Each structure stands twice: as C-alpha cells, then as structure tokens.
C-alpha cells in the first residue's frame, strides 16, 4: 500500500484569536489550558474556565477548530456561574457524605449564590447545615480534580439506576441527546453539562445560608424536596462582605418593616397573595398615586377606569386565553355567560378607543389607569408585596400613527426616568427584548417595532443590552431595571409595542387621505405594580421614607403633662399648614418617646418643654439623631416643605 504524502501526516493546526487582538496557532486537540499557558507564560490562579467562541467551557476542553478564546474569572457573570455551580457540586457531595440515603435532583447557580434540591425524609436542621458545611470545607481542602465524563444515554441510565438516583434517571430519560455528560470529583459523580472549575480546591470561601421546602420541577403535585441555599466567593473577605450585605437585606426586609411600621398585612383569612393596606401604608400609597396622576395629566395622558371583570370573549379576542391562560384565574359563570377576572387592563383601554371614530388628528391618544389586576401565582412563589395575586398596575396604553411611534417611545423613556429619579432611583439598566419563539404578528411588523424601540434608545443616549427572545407574544419591549441602595437590580418599567391587538380588535383611524388605517399600540408601565414598587421603596429607604412620602412627617413630644395643651396646639397648626403631624401625649419620659419615634422612622421630632412653650417654639430633632435647635412652627413648616419635591433633579438624593 502506498504511503500517504508527508503533508497529510502533519498534525492539523488551529488558529485562535485572543481578547488582546492577537492570533496564535496551536496543534489541533491541544487543551485550552495549555494554549492559555503558552500565550500568558503561566496561567493565573484566578482563571478557572474559558469562553471558546463565546461559550463557557472547561479549561481542559480540546481546541478542534479555528475560533476565539478568552480566560474566565470570577469577575464575569459567566465566571460567577461556573464558580458557584462547581460549589453546588461540592455541597451535594458533602450532603451525600453526611446523609447517604439522600437522593440528588438538581442544583443550579443563581444570582449571588446557588442551591441544590435533595429528596430526603425530613427537613434539614441548622445543625445539619453546620455538619454539611464542615464536610464541604474538607472536600475543598482535599482539592479533588473535577473531571468531565461522557457516556451513552443507556450507560448513564444504568449508572444512576445502580446508584438508586431515581430523579437523575427521570432527567436522563427526558434527554434527546444520546451522549450524556457528567462530572466526577473524588468518588462523587453527578449529571451535569458543565463547565466547572478544575478542582474543588479552587473554591476558596463557601457558606451555607438556609434550607427550605421545594417541589420537584416546581409543581406542587410532585414530591416535596429539601432545598439548601449557599453562596461562595474567591476570598473570605468577599464572602464576609456579602454576608454583611445579607444581614442588611434582612434588616430592610419589607415584610418585617411592613409589620413593624404597620403598613400592610397578608392574612390567611383573606387569602395568600392578597394585600390589606393599613392606614399608614395606604397613605403612602395615596401619595405615590396622587403624584402619578398629576404627572400623567401634565404629560398629556387622559385617565380612565375599567371594571375588574369582563366577558371571557374579550380575553379570547385579545389572545390572553391562548397565550396567558396559565396565569389567569378560572372563569366564573354569570347568567349563562362566562366572565374573567382581568389579568390585564389593555383590552378595556382598547374598547375605550373603539367607542368613537378616530381621526389622524386625534392621535396620539394616551390612556392611563391605576388598574387592579388578578393573576394566578402558585403559592410557592408568593413573596410579600413582591409577588402577589392581586395588584395595581400603573398602566398606560398609547395609540399612535406609525410616523409618531419613535417620538412616543422616546417620550415614554424620558417620563420613566423622571418618575424613577423622583423616588431616588438614578442607576438604570435597559434591555431591548426581541421576538420569542411563541409569538404573533409578521416578521416585518416585529422588525419595524424593534427598530422603533432601538431608535428611541439611541436618540435618548441610553445604554442598553439586547435580550434575545424575551419579548412578549405580541411585540418587542424595553425593560428598565433600577438599582436600589444595596445595589440590587429590580425590573419595574416596561415599554411594549403591539401591532397584534389593534388588528385583533379592528382598531382604525381615518387618515389624512380619507382612508382607514390601523394605529400602533404601546403598552407602558413605569413602576410595574404599586405593590411591588412599594415593597422596593420600603427596602430602598429601610422604611425611612423621604419626608414627602412619610405617613407622619412630624411628631410633637411634650416633656410633661404641663405642655400637653401646647403640644396639641402645635399639631393643629402643622395640620392646618398641610403637614402630616401627630403628638405623643403619653405620660412617659421624653427619651422613650424619642426612641420610639426614631424606630417609627418619623422624619422630625418636635420636643416641647416649659422653655419652648413660653417662647412659642419647638426643639427640632431629626430621625437620624441630629438636633436642629429651636424653631417656630412657621420655620418647621418651611423645613418640611423644603423636603417636599416631588420633582428631583438628576443626581440628587432623598437618602439621609
């Protein structure tokens, strides 16, 4: 047999680009680890994975084709996910070592941590978590190499059947791929796509945080599992800082503060996910809503009201029955007709638009409503004010001509940032969400709508990121996320373009040419829901609302019974001047009254004794302990009014 030419025997080379713009040649099959080491001289210890052509991979992944290579560290989002998913495996191994009868299920990385769900006969106790964490640290010290293993689906099924891991078997049976990947460290092996760090010793600081019940696959019809939450960082210092932040989050928890400040409650007799607003909370809500209404009227919106129920046919026409059914409550039958609790306000605003013949001169039309909607949320995901079943959307729907679309979106974005800044949120992230798999409307309509949103973002010089496939079923959207005082990100505002509903409902206007045309509809919310926004505000301000939002702006504290009548007269004067004031007339020491007023987050405490009564003044003390000295009632009113924007210039802050 003739020998092949020498050129055919030569090993194939691959050409790899690096972040610094250089391009290097390596033998085919060389690992990413070796390639990085060659280029960098030595591999820094903080590098524990790579991105190969933009996709996270293990360091030992072989280079098979030309492409790009980038080292991954904890500083990137991909790095955090790899690091914490590897930490999950360390924890799972520790649980299995401590409790061999446990069955493994799934354990993903999540924002700022990770969790793993275990099938176990009882909940884990704090003592169990201590034992598991101790074993996890021993696994880290052992520095087990973490190896990727691939085998056929049949082999994987056999392996996990022998191990008695029924949940893993169920997962594998649902796989379409015939090759299954898993990772091994020591004698522990788990089903996983990866990637992972190279060894358990690269996990430097790990802490288990809590445990809770969770249903398999999130379905309450399935068995209850035991979930353990944890977190990990590359250094103990970073972990300690995070734990301090978690303590601050607990201190600011809106559920805890809501009870302490008597703002709201959720009671079993009423039903889960349904909020009872107490007088102080209702007053803060009223102030927010009044500001919302005033600003919408100033910005060219017309306010409407809509009912809480409608015929089910309305939701069939809108497409909600087809695309949103799982989030809607069951219909009710009234006089042989089916009615639906509204999950959205948009069909009602559409019907208001349809109530008249519209001209091109009438557009744009902007309808705004603080409309209460009802959505079915599983009991396991309900969370205080943040996830509820009945909530009020600060909703608006705009109807415009195609030539007005970009301008209207720009106006909405400017309005959104102004409103959010008023409530002390100045750090925004914007996301442009594109067509999802399950969508209605033509590709041309989607392209036109997406282009309009992108043009508005660019015109406003907003930084934004693409969020592919995350649009709603009827159109693309812009989501605005805010960062609170603790740096947490919250999704509140959204701007959505809709060609679909105007077509479904047959919306028209008479154009300049005398012919009928179809308007474009914009769905828009600034705060998202009043309930959730209120919860975010409570945590952002730690319950210490800015003076203009505080349910009680000033509390008069007489030192003794002799100043009782004078204290009452001070409160009356403040109330007459439009301030929200009350008095503490109890026969208690003034020090106790001050401490309780500070705990109640009252912005100003007005102490009155014999001297103040004679001088017709009050001694003013702020809730942060700072004394402002003696003032007249007129000066106190000016002080309170000085803190009463509610319009806030960019970059200013209500935070004390």
What are the tens digits of pLDDT across the range 22-31? 999 999 999 9
| Residue 6 pLDDT > 80 | no
Q: One of 395, 479, 498, 584 is an active-site residue; which one?
A: 395
Pairing of strands 146-152, 179-185: antiparallel
Mean pLDDT of 193-216: 95
Contacts of 17 (CB under 8 A, 6+ apart): 23, 67, 68, 69
CATH of 8-72, picked from 3.10.20.30, 3.40.50.970, 3.30.70.120, 3.40.50.2300, is 3.10.20.30
Q: Which fold has domain 554-642?
A: Rossmann fold (3.40.50)
Sign of the alpha-carbon torsion through 400, 405, 407, 412: positive
Q: 250 — alpha (psi -120 to 50), left (phi > 0) or beta?
A: alpha
Q: One of 51, 342, 421, 477 is an active-site residue; which one?
A: 477
| Residue 653 pLDDT > 50 | no
The pLDDT value recorded for residue 652 is: 38
Q: One of 135, 358, 375, 540 is an active-site residue; which one?
A: 375
| Residue 10 pLDDT > 80 | no
In our burial notation (b when 16+ CB lie closer than 10 A, e otherwise), range 605-633 reads bbbbbeebbeeebbbbbbbeeeeeeebeb
477 is catalytic: yes
Q: One of 393, 445, 496, 563 is an active-site residue; which one?
A: 393
| Residue 125 pLDDT > 60 | yes
The pLDDT value recorded for residue 449 is: 87
481 is catalytic: no
Q: One of 168, 285, 397, 540 is an active-site residue; which one?
A: 397
Sheet with 188-191, side-by-side order of all strands = 146-152, 179-185, 188-191
Same fold, 8-72 and 77-252: no
CATH architecture of 77-252: 2-Layer Sandwich (3.30)
The pLDDT value recorded for residue 440 is: 76
Per DSSP, 561 falls in state: G
6 is catalytic: no
Higher-pLDDT residue of 379 and 613 is 613
Token look-up 């015939």 returns 178
CB-based burial label for 253 (10 Å; 0-12, 13-18, 19+): middle
The pLDDT value recorded for residue 645 is: 58
Scanning 261-399, the segments in alpha helix (DSSP H) are: 279-298, 312-318, 320-323, 346-354
In our burial notation (b when 16+ CB lie closer than 10 A, e otherwise), range 541-579 reads bbbbbbbbbbbbbbbbbbbeeebeebbebbbebbeeeeb
Query: Tokens for 295?
Result: 């600003």
Confidence of residue 651 (pLDDT cuts 50, 70, 90): very low
How far apart CA 348 and CA 260 sit, in angstroms, is 38
Token look-up 């788990």 returns 190
Higher-pLDDT residue of 448 and 432 is 432
Mean pLDDT of 503-524: 95
Q: One of 227, 320, 342, 523 is an active-site residue; which one?
A: 523
- The residue extents of the domains of the chain are 8-72, 77-252, 265-540, 554-642
Query: Tokens for 204?
Result: 């430097």
How far apart CA 654 and CA 656 sit, in angstroms, is 6
Query: Tokens for 415?
Result: 């309005």
Task: From 431, 490, 461, 417, select the one nearest 650 (Cα to Cα).
Answer: 417
Helix (H) or strand (E) holding 97, with range, is helix 77-98
- The Cβ-side half-sphere exposure at 293, using a 13 Å CA radius, reads 12
As a whole number of Å, the CA-based R_g of the chain is 30
The pLDDT value recorded for residue 1 is: 42
What percentage of the chain carries pLDDT values higher than 90? 84
Three-state SS letters, 39-65: HHCCCCCCCCEEEECCEEECCCCECCC
How far apart CA 615 and CA 635 sit, in angstroms, is 14
Mean pLDDT of 359-366: 97
pLDDT one-digit tens code per residue, 457-492: 998 889 899 888 888 877 899 999 999 999 999 999
Token look-up 């358990």 returns 200
Mean pLDDT of 123-140: 97
Predicted TM-score (pTM) of this structure: 0.85
The pLDDT value recorded for residue 438 is: 79
393 is catalytic: yes
Confidence of residue 379 (pLDDT cuts 50, 70, 90): confident
562 is catalytic: no
Q: Are 358 and 508 in contact (CB under 8 A)?
A: yes
pLDDT one-digit tens code per residue, 45-63: 899 999 999 999 999 999 9
Confidence of residue 338 (pLDDT cuts 50, 70, 90): very high
Per DSSP, 529 falls in state: E
Mean pLDDT score of the chain? 92
356 is catalytic: no
How far apart CA 594 and CA 602 sit, in angstroms, is 10
| Residue 8 pLDDT > 80 | no
Q: One of 80, 85, 346, 654 is an active-site residue; which one?
A: 346
397 is catalytic: yes
The pLDDT value recorded for residue 654 is: 37
| Residue 500 pLDDT > 80 | yes
Per DSSP, 304 falls in state: -
Scanning 336-476, the segments in alpha helix (DSSP H) are: 346-354, 405-422, 443-459
| Residue 71 pLDDT > 90 | yes
Mean pLDDT of 251-273: 96
Confidence of residue 425 (pLDDT cuts 50, 70, 90): very high
The pLDDT value recorded for residue 181 is: 96
The pLDDT value recorded for residue 558 is: 96
Contacts of 126 (CB under 8 A, 6+ apart): none
The pLDDT value recorded for residue 649 is: 41
| Residue 225 pLDDT > 90 | yes
CA angle 485, 486, 489 (to 5 degrees): 90
The pLDDT value recorded for residue 656 is: 38
| Residue 7 pLDDT > 50 | no
Q: Are 90 and 206 in contact (CB under 8 A)?
A: yes
pLDDT one-digit tens code per residue, 595-634: 999 999 999 999 999 999 999 999 999 999 999 999 999 9
Mean pLDDT of 384-393: 95
CATH architecture of 265-540: 2-Layer Sandwich (3.30)
The pLDDT value recorded for residue 2 is: 46
Higher-pLDDT residue of 396 and 653 is 396
Scanning 524-583, the segments in alpha helix (DSSP H) are: 530-540, 564-576
């Amino acid at each position: 047999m003739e020998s092949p030419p020498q050129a055919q025997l030569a090993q194939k080379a691959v050409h790899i680009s690096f972040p610094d713009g250089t391009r290097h040649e390596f033998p085919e099959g060389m690992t990413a680890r070796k390639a990085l080491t060659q280029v960098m001289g030595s591999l820094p210890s903080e590098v524990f994975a790579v991105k190969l052509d933009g996709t996270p991979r293990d360091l030992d992944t072989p280079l098979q084709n030309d492409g790009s290579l980038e080292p991954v560290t904890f500083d990137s989002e991909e790095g955090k996910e790899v690091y914490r998913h590897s930490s999950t495996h360390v924890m799972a191994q520790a649980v299995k070592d401590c409790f061999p009868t446990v069955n493994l299920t799934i354990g993903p990385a999540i924002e700022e941590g990770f969790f793993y769900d275990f099938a176990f006969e009882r909940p884990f106790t704090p003592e169990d978590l201590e034992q598991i964490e101790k074993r996890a640290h021993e696994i880290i010290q052992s520095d087990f190499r973490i190896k990727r293993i691939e085998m056929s689906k049949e082999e994987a099924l056999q392996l996990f059947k022998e191990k008695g891991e029924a949940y893993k078997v169920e997962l594998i049976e649902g796989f379409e791929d015939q090759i299954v990947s898993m990772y091994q460290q020591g004698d522990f092996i788990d089903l996983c796509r990866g990637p992972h760090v190279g060894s358990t010793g690269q996990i430097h600081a790990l802490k288990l945080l809590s445990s809770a019940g969770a249903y398999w696959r999130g379905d309450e019809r399935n068995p209850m599992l035991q979930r353990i939450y944890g977190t990990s960082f590359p250094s103990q210092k970073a972990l300690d800082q995070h734990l301090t932040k978690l303590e601050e989050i607990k201190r600011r928890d809106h559920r805890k503060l809501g009870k302490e400040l008597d703002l709201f409650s959720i009671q079993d007799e009423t039903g889960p996910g349904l909020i009872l607003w107490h007088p102080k909370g209702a007053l803060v809500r009223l102030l927010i809503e009044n500001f919302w209404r005033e600003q919408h009227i100033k910005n060219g919106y017309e306010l409407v009201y809509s009912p809480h129920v409608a015929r089910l046919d309305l939701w069939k026409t809108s497409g909600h029955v087809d695309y949103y059914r799982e989030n809607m409550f069951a219909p009710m039958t009234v006089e042989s007709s089916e009615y639906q609790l509204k999950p959205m306000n948009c069909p009602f605003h559409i019907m208001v638009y349809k109530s008249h013949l519209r001209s091109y001169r009438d557009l744009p039309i902007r309808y705004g409503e603080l409309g209460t909607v009802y959505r079915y949320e599983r009991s396991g995901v309900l969370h205080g004010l943040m996830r509820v079943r009945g909530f009020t959307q600060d909703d608006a729907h705009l109807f415009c001509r195609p030539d007005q679309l970009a301008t209207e979106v720009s106006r909405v974005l400017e309005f959104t940032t102004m409103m959010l800044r008023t409530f002390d949120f100045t750090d925004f992230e914007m996301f442009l969400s594109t067509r999802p798999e399950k969508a209605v409307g033509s590709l041309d309509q989607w392209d036109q709508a997406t282009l309009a949103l992108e043009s508005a973002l660019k015109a406003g010089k907003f930084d934004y990121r693409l969020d592919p496939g995350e649009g709603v079923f009827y159109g693309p959207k812009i989501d605005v996320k805010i960062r609170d005082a603790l740096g947490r990100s919250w999704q509140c505002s959204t701007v959505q373009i809709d060609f679909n509903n105007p077509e479904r409902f047959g919306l028209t206007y008479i154009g300049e040419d005398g012919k009928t045309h179809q308007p474009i509809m914009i769905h828009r919310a600034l705060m998202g829901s009043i309930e959730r926004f209120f919860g975010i505000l409570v945590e952002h301000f730690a319950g210490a609302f800015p003076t203009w939002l505080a349910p009680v702006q000033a509390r008069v504290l007489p030192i003794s019974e002799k100043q009782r009548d004078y204290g009452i007269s001070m409160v009356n004067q403040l109330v007459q001047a439009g301030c929200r004031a009350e008095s503490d007339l109890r026969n208690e020491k003034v020090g106790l009254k001050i401490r309780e007023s500070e705990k109640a987050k009252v912005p100003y405490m007005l102490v009155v004794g014999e001297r103040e009564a004679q001088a017709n003044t009050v001694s003013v003390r702020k809730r942060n302990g700072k004394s402002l000295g003696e003032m007249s009632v007129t000066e106190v009113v000016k002080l309170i009014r000085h803190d009463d924007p509610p319009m806030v210039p960019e970059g200013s802050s209500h935070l004390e």
